[in-house]
C-alpha cells in the first residue's frame, strides 16, 4: 500500500516516466560496447555504406531503405565506430519506452502505462534491439506511434491525426515491409468496433480516405512497382530463411509466459468494457499479432518470407498495453488499481529477471572474438571454416575463411585435411543444438579428427545458450 500511495502522492506522471527511462537507459548502455558485433550488424554496416550496391541480399536496403539511408553518413564517416553506430538504436529504444507510456496512458490509464512502460524497460528482447546496429527498436517505436495515431484519428477525426497516421505507416513500411502486415491487422481490428463501442464494421470517413488510406496505397504501390522495375526478383526476394515451426515457441519465450498470460487476461478485461477505445485496443492487439504470425508461418513454410520473432515487433506495444490493462479490473478504487499495478509489475519483473540478467551478462549472440583472435595469433593467414562467413570477413580478413553452411558436407573437411597441414573450424551451439549441423555428422567428424582447443560461453539463468567452440584440425 505504501508503494501505491507513493505513486499517487509522491510522483507525477513525468517523474514516473523519467524513472522508467532511467532504468531502461541503465540496462541498455553497457551493451553498446560490451558485446561482439553481431552478424546482422555487419550486414547493416555494409548495407548502409554501399546502399543499393551492397552485395548482401535478397531483400537488401531496397526493400527497407529508411534506416540505411539515415545511417549512411555515419557509416561512411566512421564504419568501425561500433558504439557510435549503435547509439541510434538506443535512442529509438528509449523513445519506444516513452511512446509506449503515451499509448497506454492515453487509452488505458496511468496505471496501465506504468506496467506497460516499466515492463518494456526490462524486456530482454527490447534491450537487445536497443543495443544493435539494426532497425528493430525503430520498428517498435513506429508501431507504438502508428497505433496511437490511428486510435486518435478515429476518435477525433482531426486532419493532423489522419496525417500522422499516414506518416507513421509510411515510415514504418519503408523501414521494414513486415510493418505493413502488422499495420493491416491493427487497422482492420480498429474498424471492427463502432463509435458506440458495439461490435460491427465502421467504414473510414471521407477525411480518412483522402488523407490516409488513398495516399498510403498510391505511394506504397508506386514505390514497390518501381522496385520491381529496376531490380530483379532474385535480388528482392530470393530464398527465405528462418524456422517457422519455432516461431510460436520463440514468441512465448521472448515475451515470457507471464507477460503472454497478462496480455490474454488484459484482452478479456478490455473486451468486457463497453467503450470503443478499450475494445479497439484489445482487437488491435489480437489481430495485429495473429495476422503477423499467420503471414510469417505461411510465408515461411512456402519459402517466400523469412521468419523471425522480430518481425512482430510493431505489435509488441499493443501487447504490453493490453497486459497493463489487466490492472483496470481493480479500478473500483484508485488505491486498488495502484496496488494492482505495482503487484503486476513486480510479477512481470520476477518472471523476466532470469532472461534480463542473462541478457546483461551474455547478450543474445555468439562471441567469435576470442576464437578468431586465437587463430590470428597461432596461425596468421590460416584457413578457418565457420558460420557466418561475414564474422571472419569483418574481424579477421587476413584469414582464408570458408563458410560452414547447413548444406556443407563433411567431404569438405576431408579435402582440407588432405591438402593442409592444419586448419580451424569454429562451431556455434544453442540450446536446441549446433548451428548448421542438424544431423550431427559434422561434429562427429570433428570429434574424431580434431581437438577442441577453446570453448567460449557464459553462464545464463534462462533456458538459452550461446557457446562457441574452436577446433584445431587435424588433431596433433
Give the SS3 label for residue 409: coil
Sign of the torsion formed by the C-alpha atoms of 237, 238, 244 and 249: negative
The H-or-E segment that residue 316 falls in is helix 316-324
- At residue 44, the pLDDT reads 94
pLDDT confidence band for 58 (50 / 70 / 90): low
- At residue 306, the pLDDT reads 83
Report d(CA 281, CA 355) in Å as an integer: 28
**Virtual torsion, Cα 233, 235, 237, 238, nearest 10 deg:** 100
Contact in structure between 342 and 397 (CB atoms under 8 Å)? no
pLDDT digits (tens, 9 = 90+) for 287-300: 999 999 999 999 88
Which has the minimum average pLDDT: 122-131, 175-184, 459-468? 459-468
pLDDT confidence band for 433 (50 / 70 / 90): confident
- At residue 6, the pLDDT reads 45
pLDDT digits (tens, 9 = 90+) for 39-52: 999 999 999 999 98
Characterise 381 by phi-psi region: left (phi > 0), alpha (psi -120 to 50), beta (else).
Answer: left
According to DSSP, the β-strands at 423-430 and 433-434 are antiparallel
Q: Among residues of the chain, what percentage have pLDDT more than 90? A: 82
Phi, psi for 450 (deg, rounded to 5): -125, 170
- At residue 4, the pLDDT reads 45
Q: Among residues of the chain, what percentage have pLDDT more than 70? A: 96
- At residue 77, the pLDDT reads 95
Average pLDDT over residues 93-112: 97
- At residue 336, the pLDDT reads 83
- At residue 7, the pLDDT reads 52
Residue (of 149, 139, 159, 138) closest to 106 by Cα position: 149
According to DSSP, the β-strands at 467-473 and 423-430 are antiparallel
What number of other Cβ atoms are within 10 A of residue 256's Cβ? Answer: 22
Give the chain's mean pLDDT: 92
- At residue 155, the pLDDT reads 94
Residues in CB range of 462: below 8 A, 6 or more apart: 354, 355, 358
pLDDT digits (tens, 9 = 90+) for 387-404: 999 999 999 999 999 999
**Domain segments of the chain as ranges:** 2-362, 369-473
Contact in structure between 94 and 130 (CB atoms under 8 Å)? yes
C-alpha cell of 321? 498495453
End-to-end CA distance of the chain: 67
- Is the model's pLDDT at 5 over the cut of 50? no
Contact in structure between 213 and 204 (CB atoms under 8 Å)? yes
Contact in structure between 467 and 429 (CB atoms under 8 Å)? yes
- At residue 232, the pLDDT reads 74
pLDDT digits (tens, 9 = 90+) for 251-305: 999 999 999 999 999 999 999 998 999 999 999 999 999 999 999 999 888 887 8
Partners of 425 in the β-ladder: 385, 471
Instruction: Specify the CATH class of 369-473 in words.
Output: alpha beta
Of 48-52, 141-145, 230-234, 307-311, the range with the highest mean pLDDT is: 141-145
pLDDT digits (tens, 9 = 90+) for 6-28: 455 457 899 999 999 999 999 99
pLDDT digits (tens, 9 = 90+) for 406-415: 889 999 999 9
Amino acid at each position: 500500500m505504501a508503494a501505491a500511495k507513493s505513486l499517487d502522492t509522491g510522483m507525477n506522471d513525468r517523474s514516473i516516466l523519467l524513472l522508467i527511462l532511467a532504468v531502461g537507459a541503465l540496462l541498455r548502455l553497457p551493451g553498446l560496447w560490451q558485446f561482439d558485433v553481431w552478424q546482422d550488424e555487419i550486414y547493416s554496416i555494409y548495407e548502409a555504406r554501399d546502399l543499393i550496391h551492397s552485395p548482401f541480399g535478397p531483400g537488401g536496403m531496397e526493400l527497407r531503405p529508411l534506416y540505411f539511408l539515415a545511417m549512411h553518413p555515419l557509416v561512411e564517416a566512421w564504419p568501425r565506430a561500433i558504439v557510435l553506430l549503435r547509439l541510434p538504436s538506443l535512442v529509438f529504444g528509449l523513445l519506444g519506452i516513452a511512446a509506449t507510456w503515451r499509448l497506454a496512458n492515453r487509452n488505458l490509464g496511468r496505471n496501465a502505462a506504468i506496467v506497460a512502460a516499466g515492463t518494456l524497460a526490462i524486456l530482454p528482447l527490447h534491450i537487445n534491439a536497443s543495443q544493435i546496429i539494426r532497425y528493430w527498436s525503430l520498428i517498435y517505436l513506429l508501431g507504438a506511434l502508428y497505433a496511437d495515431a490511428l486510435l486518435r484519428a478515429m476518435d477525433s477525426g482531426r486532419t493532423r491525426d489522419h496525417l500522422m497516421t499516414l506518416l507513421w505507416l509510411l515510415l514504418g513500411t519503408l523501414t521494414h515491409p513486415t510493418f505493413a502486415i502488422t499495420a493491416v491487422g491493427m487497422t482492420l481490428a480498429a474498424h471492427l468496433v463502432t463509435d458506440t463501442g458495439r461490435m460491427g464494421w465502421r467504414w473510414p470517413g471521407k477525411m480518412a480516405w483522402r488523407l490516409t488510406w488513398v495516399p498510403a496505397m498510391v505511394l506504397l504501390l508506386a514505390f514497390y512497382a518501381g522496385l520491381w522495375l529496376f531490380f530483379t526478383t532474385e535480388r528482392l526476394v530470393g530464398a527465405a530463411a528462418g524456422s517457422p515451426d519455432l516461431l510460436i515457441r520463440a514468441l512465448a519465450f521472448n515475451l515470457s509466459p507471464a507477460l503472454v498470460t497478462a496480455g490474454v487476461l488484459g484482452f478479456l478485461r478490455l473486451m468486457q468494457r463497453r467503450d470503443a477505445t478499450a475494445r479497439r485496443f484489445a482487437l488491435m492487439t489480437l489481430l495485429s499479432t495473429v495476422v503477423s504470425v499467420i503471414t510469417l508461418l505461411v510465408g515461411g513454410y512456402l519459402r517466400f518470407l523469412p521468419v523471425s520473432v522480430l518481425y512482430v515487433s510493431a505489435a509488441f506495444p499493443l501487447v504490453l498495453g493490453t497486459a497493463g490493462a489487466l490492472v483496470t479490473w481493480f479500478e473500483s478504487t484508485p488505491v486498488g488499481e495502484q496496488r494492482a499495478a505495482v503487484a503486476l509489475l513486480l510479477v512481470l519483473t520476477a518472471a523476466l529477471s532470469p532472461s534480463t540478467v542473462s541478457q546483461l551478462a551474455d547478450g543474445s549472440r555468439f562471441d567469435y572474438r576470442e576464437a578468431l583472435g586465437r587463430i590470428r595469433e597461432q596461425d596468421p593467414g590460416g584457413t578457418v571454416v565457420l558460420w557466418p562467413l561475414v564474422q571472419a570477413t569483418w574481424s579477421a580478413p587476413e584469414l582464408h575463411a570458408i563458410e560452414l553452411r547447413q548444406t556443407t558436407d563433411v567431404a569438405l573437411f576431408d579435402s582440407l585435411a588432405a591438402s593442409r597441414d592444419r586448419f580451424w573450424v569454429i562451431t556455434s551451439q544453442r540450446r536446441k543444438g549446433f548451428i548448421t549441423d542438424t544431423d550431427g555428422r559434422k561434429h562427429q567428424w570433428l570429434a574424431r579428427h580434431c581437438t577442441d582447443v577453446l570453448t567460449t560461453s557464459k553462464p545464463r539463468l534462462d533456458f538459452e545458450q550461446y557457446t562457441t567452440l574452436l577446433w584445431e584440425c587435424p588433431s596433433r
